[in-house]
Amino acid sequence: MKIVRFPLYFLGVALLTGAAVLALKFFGFEIVMKENGVVEWLEVLWLLLSSLFLFLAARRSIEYSGLFSVLWLLPVIAAIRELDGIFDKIFHGAWIIPAMFIAAIVFYRIFRSFNILKLQSLSFINTQQVVFLGVGFFIVVIFAQISGEQCVMRAVLQEHYHRYVGRFVEEFIEFLGYIILVIGSLECYIQTT
């Protein structure tokens, strides 16, 4: 079954990427890429799907239930951060309050079950799921942020720099990273026993 799943994942990524490009072409940059635009809402959807698959994996898994019970909360924090434009209508930086509440739950669970989580993590790093989760995390948290930085974009594009380019690069790379996180989370659910 694995042989069939992986080409389907890559086909799905290609189709979603192509759909994003077509949306840009037909609806324009402002509608698709703006704060609280189509891409940000799709990113929230990917994060919530990742969270759902990890939550279900935590309920289903015997071997990694503790680890997945911590991991499913991380995409929720990221989704809250993606929705900062909505939270900013309450007050600037309001997203920090629910994100910190969930982070406190994560730290409590880690503190409470540290030894169990350490053993589960050491075992989990030998699975194929960790590759997808790790690559998705690296793309979103490190690569997309660096690529979207104004100083990096100015150095690369020099006099051709425009802020829309930086926003596009950062959001598009995040979009792909979140899709890879969904694949990793789905694999966590599929592989649990």
**Per-residue pLDDT at 147:** 78
* CA–CA distance, 139 with 35 (Å, rounded to integer): 20
**Per-residue pLDDT at 193:** 65
**Per-residue pLDDT at 75:** 96
Three-state SS at 187: helix
**Per-residue pLDDT at 29:** 74
Q: Considering Cα of 56, then 95, then 113, then 133, what sign does the dihedral take?
A: positive
Q: Which residues of the chain have pLDDT under 70?
A: 1-3, 193
Q: Considering Cα of 129, then 7, then 53, then 167, what sign does the dihedral take?
A: positive
Q: How far is CA 110 from the centre of its chain?
A: 21
Are 73 and 57 contacting, i.e. CB atoms less than 8 angstroms apart?
A: no
**Per-residue pLDDT at 30:** 72
**Length of the chain as a residue count:** 193
